Structure formats: C-alpha cells, structure tokens
Amino acid sequence: MNSGLKLVTLRQWSRHKLRLSLTVLGIALGVAVFFAVRTTNRTLVDSLNSTIEKLAGKATLQIAAGDEGFPVDVLKTVRATHGVELAEPVTETIANTVEPANEKLLILGLDVGSDLKLYSDLFEEGDMAIKNPLAFTSRADSIAVTRKFADRFSLKDGDTLRLQTLTGEKTFTVRGVFRSEGSGEIFDGNVAVMDIAAAQSAFGKTGKLDRIDVMNSADVPTDELAAGLRSQLPAGIKVVRPNLRGQALENAVSSMHFGLTIMSFLALTICIFIIFNSFSISLNQRWKEIGILRAIGVDRGGIMRMFLTEAVVLGVIGSLLGIAGGVGLARVAIIVVSRVTATFYGAITSGKAFSIDYVFALEAVGIGIATSILAAWLPARAASHLRPVLALTNIETRQKEYGLNKIRIIIGVGFVIAGLLLVRYSRAGIGMNIQMFYFVFVQFGMILLLPMFIRLGSKVLRPVLGKLFGIEGIIAVETMAAAPRRTVSTVGALMIGLSFVIAHAGFIQSQKAALDHSLDKTLGADFVLSSSNQLNARTYHFSEATAERLAALPEATATDVISVSAVELGGEEISLMSHKMDAYFTMSPDLLDYGDPAPARAAAVHGEGALISNNLSFRANLKLGDRIRIDSPTGTLELPIVGMFDYFRSEKGTIFIDRELYKKYWNDSRVDYVFLNVKPGTDRGVFKQKIQDTIVGEQAFVYTHEEFKAWASRLIDQFFALTYLQMVIAILVAAIGLVNTMVISVSERRRELGIFRAIGGLRRQVAKMVMLEAVAIGLIGLFTGVITGLFSAYFLVNTAAKVVAGFTINLVFPYSITLMSIPLVLAVAALSAFFPAFNAARIRIAEAIGYE
Amino acid sequence: MDRIIRFAGVTKRYETEDRVVAIDSVDLEISRGERVAIMGPSGSGKSTLLNLISGLDEPTSGTVFFEDRALSEMNDNELTLMRRKKIGLIFQTFNLLPTLTATENVSLPLRLDGMRRRTANARAVELLTRVGLNERLTHRPDELSGGERQRIAIARSLVFNPPVLLADEPTGNLDSHTGADIIELLDKLHDEFQTTVVLVTHNSSAAEHCERRFTMLDGKIVSSNE
C-alpha cells in the first residue's frame, strides 16, 4: 500500500480504536475455535496412537481379540511359530482405586519372571526398583507403580494400595517402582504392573490374555510373520501392527471429530459477518475521506488495496491472537474430549503433552486472513466505486441502502427449499462431503433471505414495540429496518450462532427421545444391574454365579444375563451383545421393528439366528434373511438375520446373539448386565436394597427401569459435553457481533443522533432508542436463528445421524432451549447496547452535527 | 415588540491550545417577529451564536435568555423541549435523517412529542405541501435535490409553529437560483407565521431580506444597519 494511504489508514485506526479492537476480537474468536478444534482432534488421535504404541513397547506385532480376550493357550501357538523372537503375554485392566480414592489405574499384567525385553523403556538401567524380585513374583498382592504415581501419593516400597477387584476391595503392596516413561507415561502416569497370574486372578481373567506382544526375529520380516501367525490362529484373533490398532480407534471417534469440524467452520462463518459489518461501517465512517482521496488522485485500485491491506493486517493480528486463545481453548477441549473418548469408546488417551502444531497455526493464520479478505471484499469494492462528487458533497447519500431484491428472495427461497428437499429425499449413502452441501444450501438461502426477514420482522415489531415503548420503539424499529446493511450482518451473526445452539439442542433432544423410545422397547426389565457406570468399561464384570443368585431371589420373575463385547465386521468394530434370548423377548415383547417375532424368537433362542440394530442394517446394507459371518476366538460363526430394531449403543452397529452361543464360541462366561423382572406389587426400594445385599462386595450399579433411562440420558449429556461448550462459544461469538454492531452503530450514527437531539430528542429517548434497536435486532436474530436452527437440526437428524451412524431418529423441537434463548438474547442485546446507549445519550450535539 | 432572545455579556471560548474566542462579550437583543441577518467571514462566530441561542452549546461566561429565561437555568430536558417546540433549526448541510422519508423526517419532532403517527404525518404532509414538496412525500433525502432537501428541513423546522427560526447558511449548499427560492420561501413563511428569523449567511442579497443586519468579526458584533 502507498505510504500516503498507509498514513490515512493508521490515522483512522487511532481514531476508531474500539471498532478496530472488536474486529480483531471477532477474527481472533473465529480463528481460536478453528485452531482449537483442529488441535484437539489431532492431539486426541496422536494420544490414542501414542497409547497404543507405548503399550506395545518394542513389539512389532500385537495379537488381540477384543474386550473378552482369548485363551492363554494361544501363547504356546504363537511362541512356536517360526519367526517369533519374543512373545509376551499381557492383560490390561483399568481398576478403580479405593485408597488413594477415586483414581483410575491401568494395570498391566506382565510375565515379571521373564526378562521383559519388550518393555525395556520401563525397566532399563536399574530403574525398575524391585528390592525383592522373588517376593514380587511369588506374592499375589505385589504391585509396581510408576515413579510419578508413587510421588503423587507418597508411596514407597512396602506401602499398601487398595483397589476394587472383581471380587471386592483388595489390598496390594507396593514392591516396585518403575520409570514414568514409555508405557508408564500414558494415563498421566496412573500405570501399575502386576505379575500376570496375580492380575488374571484379581480381575477375572484366569486362563485368558488381552493381548500378546510379539517381536519378530531378524530373519523373518514382520509381514511374513503376521501372515504366518494368522494362518495358525482362529479368525476372531487378530494379528496387527500396533499402529493399525490406533487407526481403528481413530475410526471409532470419527463422528465426534466430524461434529467438532462443523463447529469450527460455523465459527468462521460468524466471524465473516462480524468483519463484514465492521468494514461496512468503516466505509460509512470514511465516506468523505474516500471522496477526498479520489478527488486528489487515488484510483479505484488504490482504494480497494487500502481496504484489503487493512483486512490482511487485521487478519494477521486477529489470527495471532486467535492462536493464543485457541491454545487455551484446546486445553479445555482436550480434557472434555478425552473424557468422552474414555467413556464412550473405551479408549485411553496417553498423557501426551499438548503441543502447538505449527502447520495448524500457519493454516489458522491463513484461514483468518482469507476470512478477513473475503468479508472485507464487498465493502472494499463499494468504497472503490464511490462517486467522489457525491461522497464529498451529499452527506445523505452515505446511507444509501439496498432495498428488497426480488431475485435475491427467489434465489434464497430456492436454496432453502432445495436444501430441505435434498435432506428429505436424497439417498443417504452419497457421502458426507456432498451431503454437507444440503446444510450449506439452507444456510446460504437463509442468509440471502435476511433482508426479507428484517423487513417482515420490522413490520411485526413496529406496532409491538410502539405499544410497549412508545415512539422510541417505533423509531428504533424503523432505524433498524432502514439500515439493512448494518442490520443484516448482525442478524446474520446472531442467526448462525443461535442456529447452532438450536440445531444441536434439537439434535440432542431428538437423540434422547429416540433413546427413550428405544429403551422402552428394548429394555422392558424392572431392574438393571451394571458392572460399570460407564458405557464401555471393560474391567469389572459379574460372574454367572452372581447372576444366578439374583435370579434365585423369590421376587424375580425373569432374568436376562448379558455380556457386551466387540467384533470386527467389514473392518469396523461392531458391538456384540449376548442375551438370554428367551428372557429378553419375555421382558421386551415389542422388541423388533422388522422380523416376525415368534420365529425370530425361536431362532434366536436356539442360537440359529441373530438380531441386529437398524443402524448396522443401514451401514452394512444387511436385510432380514441375510447371513452374517462373525469371527470369534474359536472360529467363524455364521447366522441368518432374523430381526432388526433401533438400538443406539454403538455408532457402528450392534449384533445380538444368544448367550449360550456366545459362551460356546467366545469361551467367555463373564456378565456385564443383569436385567430383572419382579412380581407385581414388589416394593422397588426394598428390592433394590435386597439386590445390593445379594451382591455385596462386588462393583455393581443397580438401577430401576426409570433410573437406567435417566442414566442413559445423562450419558448423552456427557457425550455432548463439548457441544454444550461449543454452544456457549457460539453465543459468545454472536454476542460479540451484536456488541460490535451497537458500539459501532452509535459511533457511525453520531451525526444522526446529534440531529435527533438537535430537533428535540431527549437524552432518555436517544438511549431508549439505541437499546430498543438492539432488542429488535436480537429478536429478529432469534427468530431467524430458530428457523435456521430447526432446518439444521432436520439436517442433523435426517442426514448426519444417518450417514455417520445409520441412526434413524425423529426431530424433536427443542422448546426449553428455544424459550431459554429468548431472555438470553434479550439480555445480551440489552447488555451490548447499554454503554453505546449511555454514550449516545451524552453526545455533544454541536460537535456531532459538525462531525463530518 | 417584546424581546424573545437576549445575550448579556456572552463569551464563548474553546479551550484549545490557542484558546479560540468564538464569541467575545456579546450583548444582543432580538424581538419577537424580527428578521435578523448575521454576516461575517468564516470563523467570526456566527454559527456559535446560533448554537448558543438554541442551547446546543453553553457560553463560557455571560447569559443567554430565551423568552426572558436564562438558558443556564434550564436542565437538559428543558433545553431539548425548548428546541423541539420553540426553535426551528435549519442547517447548511440540511441535517436530515438519511434513513427516513421526507414525511418521516418532518413528522419526527411531533412523534418525539408523543403524537400519533397518523396525526403527525398529516401535519408533515400539510407542511411539505406548503413548501412545494407534495410530490416527494415518500422520497428519502438521497433521492432529492439540494433545494428539495432544504425545503424538507424548513418544513421540519416549522412543524411546531415555533416562535423562532434559526437558519445557518441555508443557501450555502445550493445554487443561486435555488438559494433565492429558499429565501423567498422563508420570507413567505415569516409573513404567514410572524416567526422570528435569525439568518446566518455569507450571501448579502439573502441578508437584505432581513430588517436588522449585523456583521461579526473575531467573535464581536462590529457593525449593524441600525
């Protein structure tokens, strides 16, 4: 930019610091959200991979078979395979500590008697301080903890540690401390090592392994060894490189990443409105100055460059600030996301330190600048096309505004209708990248229609505010309607922010309603016992004996015994649930959405058929009568599909088989849930206590039917914890848009307000007018936000939920959030206008009139 | 004729680095129904004088009286109501609200006073017809010529039938023909309403329409035709 124009711009900046600050803040917020989301996604994936890699030690291959593990005999087969240099058996358990209280401790069961070469990062250089190795291996209560854990809880050799085991609380003795590196680094150092036999015994894994870590010999390549092992092992036991296990987890959390990414783009969209607004106002403030510059010989290109250079500089400053803010935001988001990942995907993230990815940072700066230029383009173009004579002499032409353009309305309506029709009627499997455009169509159409909504809104609000607040209300609405350029950008920012809130609130409520309906159909039990209060906890289980004791209670009329596992189908991890099918059908007679109940029940009970969730049917294109092949540790099981129903446990899908069949193929009798029906008239409170007395000492969570539904609903809230955080950010960004507009609007309208005062407007009338204008903008933003939010929610339930997880859910209008939004928006509007109104009322009239 | 405006030893200083004295110890009386022209070069204090009469600005010392009441005794609300109902302001740059139509601009002071829109608009239409703009009622300022804008401003200033009209270079932004039309219109309105007119102008032919003419220089009244 020419140095003369630079001088003019810098003077403008020093004169309009507030506008400048709010613009930079708008850019910073958009970039902060964008950067934080990308960083969170990356850190989470890195962390998941890092966990897998660190747990694998120096292993080049891992042998695993899902949550239920596999028989210990497999170790012999593996060790006997040509090319295996080392093969170490491992069990993994996440145990709850009792003392110190409420910690989660990852307990690795290792063959401590071996030289543990694969895990030398834990134990090399004498850092595995086991004073008495013989005592460590010979006593079942021995445990070694990381130095970090020991230091945190002041544990030393010989101190005790109380853990919740499968058979109740047990005391363990610290007989070793190891390095907080490698495996010891994950889980924030909450890692312990036990001898494998003791770990198997304490955590119900006797005779089973969770994995075998393998290192190939120098003369046999890893892939060749993997092929050799696969040929010797049953299909249900997987042989993979450690890094591929990380990819599977990455796949599992993909839907969460998708939601986060949508949020980051919405934040940037709101950011565009804020910057557009700011530059439009800057154009109005500088109208005469531009006229003078044109008059003294600055060409159109020079004016355009002046504006765009300003956009670039503000983009750079805002982006750098945004990255600083994004680092803080990412730290919070990572904590939330890690919890969600652990609860819902059973995935442990490592203690991998948060670090700034400079590529992301550069990308974010680039996006910030691009957004800034994009938003400044139209105002810059308008500035460069100003007619100098008009700009210099005719003050009133400053406010030349565009009216309603019929073509714009037709295009806007066309986009909205096209988007909604595509959401409703297009095939679901086209691909999310294409289907995202349905959402973009609706949003874009609504943006085009904003002037129309403002016009209509002002017609509705004018008499209402006039009735409530007198002439100031009427003038406020008229002023708002007469300045669509200013109003559109603020209403747009509010609309996008609120639509995000309404859409996600609608989506969450729709999910909850669908889950509620599904639980009524699929969970007819009066009582539910769970071995964990998390969806995917894999440590604590009941024994069959416990289930039998419960079934023997005189009040119990039916007992279903369930275990939860996972199998691979089509490269994805599918939830596998085994039920006592007869009891399941008795308790939930309306279970099936598809399939004839009587033959389906007969086939399922006899292990001759499987039930599947509707989302698996959709995702894997499976229909009634199709046969599915399920790999188990003892071979492949092939069953026809005899029934299908809605079930929301897994985004990837769920298969239901009879428990006896599961036990036979998976050699696993552990129990995760027990469903109980009781005799009519049984006192629920008394019976609940009776259950707790029956299973005393075991980790168990007892729920009545309604309590279990409430717990499931809370789980959904936990899953969407980050979404709630995003909602707050969306409102915050939209509020900044409103504050921006009101502050700048007063400064822009200084002369207008001066005239208003000069011809007899009282101070309180001016203040009231400014406040009411903000309220009017807020209300139209709210209205358009709710409409757009509902359209977006319709997209989320019809397209996103279907494509990402195959879920079919009906849209539920989020009444509570919508009603809550009204006072919230009004409060934000009033607050954002308070100081501008105060300043407007105290304007110096003579100065303001001669302001230009 | 009874006195409507009085300046008693009024000084207005701007506390800038060189302490500009815009009005320097001015004593002045203007009677009801009079037409007064104030002339002088740029920076002589003419516009400041009008600002002090209308209460848009406060004197540094001395007192300005309106209808024998010291403006310094009035609070902001009283000053505003005085401006709304008793003083019509006409500016060189028209000072219309750009987002409002001609009718809305004229009816605005009435509506600020609580008058219903329909009644206020009817009064605005009456005045706009009086100034020859009955064909431009729904036009916004940017759709009108400079002369037409000034006519709107004049109609607005008369909407309460104020006893005083303060006109600051009302022809300054207009060509000579249009300027003459505006002065003629002011004459007609003065004859009709017997309004006191204080006209600040560079234009000596416009000033000749006034019975009293003062010339200001460096904040002082240096000559008059009396």
Kindly determine whether residue B99 and residue A846, on different chains, have CB atoms separated by under 8 Å: no
In a domain? residue A424: no
- Residue A661 clears pLDDT 80, i.e. is over it: yes
| A544 contacts A660 by C-beta, under 8 angstroms | no
pLDDT of residue A392: 57
Chain A nearest C-alpha distance from B226 (Å): 31
Chain B nearest C-alpha distance from A267 (Å): 32
* First CA to last CA distance, chain B: 16
Chain B nearest C-alpha distance from A11 (Å): 20
Q: Which of A398, A751, A761 has the CB atom closest to B80's CB atom?
A: A761
Domain coverage including residue B140:
34-51+75-224
Kindly determine whether residue B93 and residue A845, on different chains, have CB atoms separated by under 8 Å: no
For A474, residues 6+ apart whose C-beta sits below 8 A from its C-beta are A462, A465, A466, B111, B117
Of the candidate ranges A293-297, A552-556, A568-572, the one whose mean pLDDT is the lowest = A293-297
| B109 contacts B159 by C-beta, under 8 angstroms | yes
Question: Which alpha helices (H) appear in B54-174, and where do they start and end?
Answer: 76-86, 102-112, 117-130, 146-157
CA dist A300 and A388 (Å) reads 11
Of the candidate ranges A578-592, B6-20, B29-43, the one whose mean pLDDT is the lowest = B6-20
Percent of chain A scoring above 70 in pLDDT? 85
Residues of B in contact with A396 (CB under 8 A): 94, 96, 98, 140-142, 149
Q: Which of B93, B94, B109 has the CB atom closest to A759's CB atom?
A: B109
Question: Cα A434 to the chain's mean position, in Å?
Answer: 21
**Average pLDDT of the residues of chain B:** 88
pLDDT for A484-502, tens place per residue? 777 887 888 888 888 888 8
In a domain? residue A266: yes
Greatest extent of chain B over all pairs of C-alpha atoms, in Å: 51
Kindly determine whether residue A399 and residue B114, on different chains, have CB atoms separated by under 8 Å: no
For B59, residues 6+ apart whose C-beta sits below 8 A from its C-beta are B10, B11, B12, B23, B52, B72
Token output for A214: 């393998």
Kindly determine whether residue B142 and residue A483, on different chains, have CB atoms separated by under 8 Å: no
pLDDT for A719-751, tens place per residue? 777 677 777 777 777 777 777 777 777 777 788
In a domain? residue A850: yes
Chain A nearest C-alpha distance from B207 (Å): 24
Query: Are A686 and A724 found together in one domain?
Result: no
Domain coverage including residue A625:
541-698
Chain B nearest C-alpha distance from A291 (Å): 16
Residues of A in contact with B111 (CB under 8 A): 471, 474-475
Chain B nearest C-alpha distance from A493 (Å): 23
Query: Are A779 and A837 found together in one domain?
Result: yes
- Residue A245 clears pLDDT 60, i.e. is over it: no
Question: Cα A730 to the chain's mean position, in Å?
Answer: 14
ipTM: 0.84
Report the domain count for chain B.
1
pLDDT of residue B122: 94
Query: Are A82 and A199 found together in one domain?
Result: yes
pLDDT of residue A398: 47
What are the CA-CA distances from residue B144 to residues A386, A393, A394, A398, B185 (Å)? 18, 13, 10, 14, 18
Backbone CA torsion sign across B217, B222, B223, B226: positive
pLDDT for A782-826, tens place per residue? 999 999 999 988 888 888 777 767 777 888 888 888 898 889 888
Chain A nearest C-alpha distance from B215 (Å): 22
Query: Are A394 and A471 found together in one domain?
Result: no
Q: Which residues of A touch B (CB under 8 A)?
A: 393-401, 470-471, 474-475, 478-479, 482-483, 751-752, 755-763, 765, 845-846, 849, 852
**For chains A and B, what is the number of CB pairs under 8 angstroms?**
86
Chain A nearest C-alpha distance from B66 (Å): 16
pLDDT of residue B31: 92
Token output for A145: 């903890």
pLDDT of residue A255: 63
Query: Are A573 and A656 found together in one domain?
Result: yes
Choosing from A240, A272, A295, the residue where a domain stops is: A240
Q: Which long-range contacts (CB under 8 A, 24 or more apart) does A695-698 make?
A: A695/A529, A695/A542, A695/A546, A695/A549, A695/A550, A697/A167, A697/A168, A697/A169, A698/A166, A698/A167, A698/A168, A698/A531, A698/A540, A698/A542, A698/A546
Residues of A in contact with B77 (CB under 8 A): 762-763
Query: Are A233 and A262 found together in one domain?
Result: no
pLDDT of residue A623: 93
CA dist B188 and B182 (Å) reads 10
Residue B106: closest CA among B43, B169, B154: B154
Q: Which of B56, B81, B149 has the CB atom closest to A396's CB atom?
A: B149
pLDDT band at A401; cut points 50, 70, 90: very low
DSSP lists the bridge partners of residue B165 as: B88, B197
Mean pLDDT of A559-573: 85
Backbone CA torsion sign across B211, B217, B221, B226: negative
pLDDT of residue A113: 74
Q: Which of B51, B100, B113 has the CB atom closest to A482's CB atom?
A: B100
H helix or E strand, kind and range, residue A161: strand A160-165
For A649, residues 6+ apart whose C-beta sits below 8 A from its C-beta are A535, A575, A577, A613
Kindly determine whether residue B109 and residue A845, on different chains, have CB atoms separated by under 8 Å: no
Residues of B in contact with A471 (CB under 8 A): 111-112, 114
* SS3 sequence of A636-689: EEEEEEEEEECCCCCCCCEEEEEHHHHHHHHCCCCECEEEEEECCCCCHHHHHH
Q: Which residues of B touch A (CB under 8 A)?
A: 51, 54, 56-57, 76-77, 80-81, 83-85, 89, 91, 93-100, 104, 108-109, 111-114, 117, 140-142, 146, 149, 156, 173
Chain B nearest C-alpha distance from A820 (Å): 34
Token output for A737: 């848009």
pLDDT for B36-54, tens place per residue? 999 998 888 888 899 899 8
Q: Which of A397, A761, A852 has the CB atom closest to B142's CB atom?
A: A397
DSSP track, A293-327: HHHTT--HHHHHHHHHHHHHHHHHHHHHHHHHHHH
| A740 contacts A777 by C-beta, under 8 angstroms | no
Query: Are A103 and A208 found together in one domain?
Result: yes
pLDDT of residue A175: 85
H helix or E strand, kind and range, residue A613: strand A610-613
Kindly determine whether residue B95 and residue A849, on different chains, have CB atoms separated by under 8 Å: yes
Residue A642 — φ and ψ, nearest 5°?
-110, -10
H helix or E strand, kind and range, residue B31: strand B20-31
In a domain? residue A245: no
Chain B nearest C-alpha distance from A824 (Å): 30
Report the domain count for chain A.
4
- Residue B150 clears pLDDT 70, i.e. is over it: yes
In a domain? residue B131: yes
Residues of B in contact with A391 (CB under 8 A): none
Token output for A784: 């358009």
pLDDT band at A396; cut points 50, 70, 90: very low
Kindly determine whether residue A396 and residue B81, on different chains, have CB atoms separated by under 8 Å: no
Backbone CA torsion sign across A52, A57, A58, A62: negative
CA dist B225 and B211 (Å) reads 9
In a domain? residue A184: yes
| A269 contacts A600 by C-beta, under 8 angstroms | no
Chain B nearest C-alpha distance from A276 (Å): 21
Kindly determine whether residue B114 and residue A758, on different chains, have CB atoms separated by under 8 Å: no
Of the candidate ranges A38-52, A250-264, A401-415, B170-184, the one whose mean pLDDT is the lowest = A250-264
Query: Are A692 and A573 found together in one domain?
Result: yes
Residues of B in contact with A852 (CB under 8 A): 93
Bridging pattern class, strands A84-99 and A527-530 = unpaired
pLDDT for A302-351, tens place per residue? 888 888 888 888 889 999 999 998 888 888 877 777 776 666 655 555 55
The number of helices, as runs of H, and strands, as runs of E, in chain B is 7, 10
Query: Are A260 and A297 found together in one domain?
Result: yes
Question: Which alpha helices (H) appear in A139-204, and where do they start and end?
Answer: 147-152, 196-202
| B44 contacts B21 by C-beta, under 8 angstroms | no
In a domain? residue A267: yes
Q: A796: which DSSP letter?
A: I
**pLDDT top residue among A798 and B16:** A798
- Residue A399 clears pLDDT 80, i.e. is over it: no
Q: Which of A751, A759, A763 has the CB atom closest to B83's CB atom?
A: A759
Query: Are A161 and A73 found together in one domain?
Result: yes
Give the alpha-carbon dihedral of B142, B145, B147, B150, to 10 degrees.
-10
Residue A314: closest CA among A36, A33, A9: A9
| A803 contacts A428 by C-beta, under 8 angstroms | yes
In a domain? residue A248: no
Residues of B in contact with A399 (CB under 8 A): 98-99, 142
pLDDT of residue A497: 83
Q: Which of B51, B91, B142 has the CB atom closest to A396's CB atom?
A: B142
pLDDT of residue A303: 83
pLDDT for A85-132, tens place per residue? 888 898 888 788 888 877 778 888 888 777 667 776 655 444 555 666
What are the CA-CA distances from residue A357 to residues A36, A154, A823 (Å)? 11, 35, 40
Residues of A in contact with B146 (CB under 8 A): 394
CATH assignment at residue B153: 3.40.50.300
Query: Are A651 and A763 found together in one domain?
Result: no
In a domain? residue A427: no
- Residue A709 clears pLDDT 90, i.e. is over it: no
| A753 contacts A766 by C-beta, under 8 angstroms | yes
In a domain? residue B62: no
* SS3 sequence of A20-89: HHHHHHHHHHHHHHHHHHHHHHHHHHHHHHHHHHHHHCCCCEEEECCCCCEECCHHHHHHHCCCEEEEEE
Kindly determine whether residue B77 and residue A479, on different chains, have CB atoms separated by under 8 Å: no
Residue in chain A lying closest to B143 (CA): A397
Residues of B in contact with A763 (CB under 8 A): 76-77, 80
CA dist A73 and A234 (Å) reads 12
CA dist A794 and A800 (Å) reads 9
| B159 contacts B127 by C-beta, under 8 angstroms | yes
Query: Are A48 and A68 found together in one domain?
Result: no
Kindly determine whether residue B94 and residue A470, on different chains, have CB atoms separated by under 8 Å: no
| A159 contacts A174 by C-beta, under 8 angstroms | yes
pLDDT of residue B226: 67
Percent of chain A scoring above 90 in pLDDT? 15
Mean pLDDT of B64-87: 91
